[in-house]
């Protein structure tokens, strides 16, 4: 099998494809012949060595794949060889390879009701779409009419959150982006208004009738996180979904949160899938149905062969992408 292995912190230009022995699924797992793999900023962070001992090296990056079931491990029910699937490799990683091992709980069949979904779209969507679905519906418990702010509105995750918030009944959906180029590109993703990240808080406060925010979803991090908290109404909630900026952690005062009646919540789909894989898998099926039914749409910014994964990483690092990048592994 061909695979891209990160054995040390490295630059994008050092990514090379290697030949490894074919994977066989252990009991309770599936092996998938990978056709497409999603590329996320978390892969860039892994390549840079940002996770330290949390993700020991060597490792094969990649949190989401689509393809065909290659082999079914002992004890696995409900899957057959050759079946089209999309899978989250959140617990094993390994998406940047021609064969990936997945948990059946985190694998969604793409035949039957989801047969209209193409493999590329599925690989580009499953992790971020499921994150958006769970963050809004199960973590934040968005209510009808809530006013919502999403940072990184044009990114792989943000491009789904705006649409999902609208689907769940948000009253007003705001977004921030990092460059003027992205304002227009993100305008069709469910947002009522978009702001440049620099100075967004002042712009929001100055708007006629601005009543404060019920919910902020932040996969970006940095000092912007503190400014976002100050925009929350009493009983408002900030949901931390990542730290794409790579900024130092922003200290939070629990006394201030108490006195201001605000809450801070974190959600990591990777961590939660270790705890409740079946729950995450059921959320993935429900979210993919929204995609298949046309309620939510996926933005695929570019498709690269595995051998050119370095180009995808370099593009992600420029912060000039909208939606998702995908690797085509085979077929």
CATH number of the domain that 25 lies in? 3.90.180.10
Kindly report which listed range (67-81, 87-101, 170-184) carries the lowest average pLDDT score. 170-184
Judged against a pLDDT cut of 80, whether residue 73 lies above it is answered with yes
CA-atom Rg of the chain in angstroms: 20
149 and 81 housed in the same domain: no
**Residues 164 and 133 sit within 8 Å (Cβ to Cβ):** yes
pLDDT at 138: 95
Q: What is the CATH number of the domain that holds 223?
A: 3.40.50.720
Percent of the chain's residues with pLDDT above 90: 77
Using alpha carbons only, give the angle 228, 216, 276 rounded to the nearest 5 degrees.
Answer: 135
Q: Distances from the Cα of 24 to the Cαs of 1, 33, 71, 157, 322, in angstroms? A: 11, 11, 7, 32, 36
**Residues 20 and 58 sit within 8 Å (Cβ to Cβ):** no
Q: Distances from the Cα of 299 to the Cαs of 10, 98, 114, 123, 134, in angstroms? A: 28, 24, 18, 12, 19
Question: What SS3 class is residue 19?
Answer: strand
106 and 147 housed in the same domain: no
Using 50, 70 and 90 to split pLDDT, how confident is the model at 51?
confident
Percent of the chain's residues with pLDDT above 70: 100
Write the DSSP symbol of residue 137: I
290 and 201 housed in the same domain: no
Q: Is the dihedral of CA 165, 167, 173, 179 positive or negative?
A: positive
Q: How many domains does the chain have?
A: 2
**Residues 150 and 165 sit within 8 Å (Cβ to Cβ):** yes
141 and 215 housed in the same domain: yes
Sheet holding 232-240, edge to edge: 193-196, 172-177, 147-151, 213-218, 232-240, 263-266
Q: For all residues of the chain together, what is the average pLDDT? A: 93
For 286-304, how does the pLDDT look when each residue is reduced to its tens digit (9 = 90+)? 999 999 999 999 989 999 9
133 and 262 housed in the same domain: yes
DSSP string, 27-88: TT-EEEEEEEEEE-HHHHHHHHTTTGGGSPSSB---SEEEEEEEEE-TT--S--TT-EEEEE
Q: Which of 220, 238, 269 is the last residue of a domain?
A: 269
Query: Structural domain of residue 171, as residue ranges?
Result: 128-269
Average pLDDT (253-264) is 89
Judged against a pLDDT cut of 90, whether residue 52 lies above it is answered with no
195 and 304 housed in the same domain: no
Token output for 247: 């900024």
244 and 313 housed in the same domain: no
First CA to last CA across the chain, in angstroms? 14
149 and 207 housed in the same domain: yes
User: Which residues are bridge partners to 266 per DSSP?
Assistant: 240
Using 50, 70 and 90 to split pLDDT, how confident is the model at 110?
very high
């Amino acid at each position: 099998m061909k695979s891209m292995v990160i054995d040390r912190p490295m630059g994008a230009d050092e990514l090379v494809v290697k030949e490894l022995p074919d994977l066989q699924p252990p009991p309770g797992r599936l092996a998938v012949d990978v056709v497409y793999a999603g590329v996320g900023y978390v892969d860039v962070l892994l390549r840079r060595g940002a996770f330290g001992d949390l993700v020991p090296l060597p490792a094969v990056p990649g949190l989401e794949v689509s393809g065909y079931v290659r082999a079914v491990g002992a004890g696995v029910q409900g899957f057959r060889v050759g079946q089209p699937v999309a899978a989250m490799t959140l617990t094993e990683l390994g998406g940047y390879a021609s064969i990936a091992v997945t948990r059946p709980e985190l694998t969604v069949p793409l035949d039957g009701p989801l047969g209209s979904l193409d493999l590329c779209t599925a690989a580009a969507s499953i992790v971020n779409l499921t994150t958006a679905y769970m963050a809004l519906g199960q973590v934040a418990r968005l209510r009808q009419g809530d006013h919502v702010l999403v940072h990184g509105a044009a990114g792989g995750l943000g491009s789904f959150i705006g649409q999902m918030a609208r689907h769940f009944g948000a009253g007003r959906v705001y977004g921030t982006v990092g460059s003027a180029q992205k304002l227009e590109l993100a305008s069709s993703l469910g947002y009522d208004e978009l702001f440049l990240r620099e100075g967004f808080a002042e712009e929001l406060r100055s708007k006629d009738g601005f009543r404060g925010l019920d919910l902020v979803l932040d996969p970006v991090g940095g000092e912007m996180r503190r400014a976002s908290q100050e925009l929350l109404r009493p009983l408002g909630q900030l949901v931390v979904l990542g730290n794409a900026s790579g900024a130092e952690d922003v200290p939070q005062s629990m006394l201030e949160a108490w006195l201001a009646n605000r809450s801070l919540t974190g959600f990591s789909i990777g961590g939660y899938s270790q705890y409740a894989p079946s729950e995450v898998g059921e959320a993935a099926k429900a979210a993919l149905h929204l995609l298949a039914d046309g309620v939510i749409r996926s933005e695929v910014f570019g498709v690269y062969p595995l051998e050119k994964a370095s180009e995808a990483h370099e593009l992600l690092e420029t912060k000039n992408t909208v939606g998702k990048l995908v690797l085509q592994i085979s077929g």
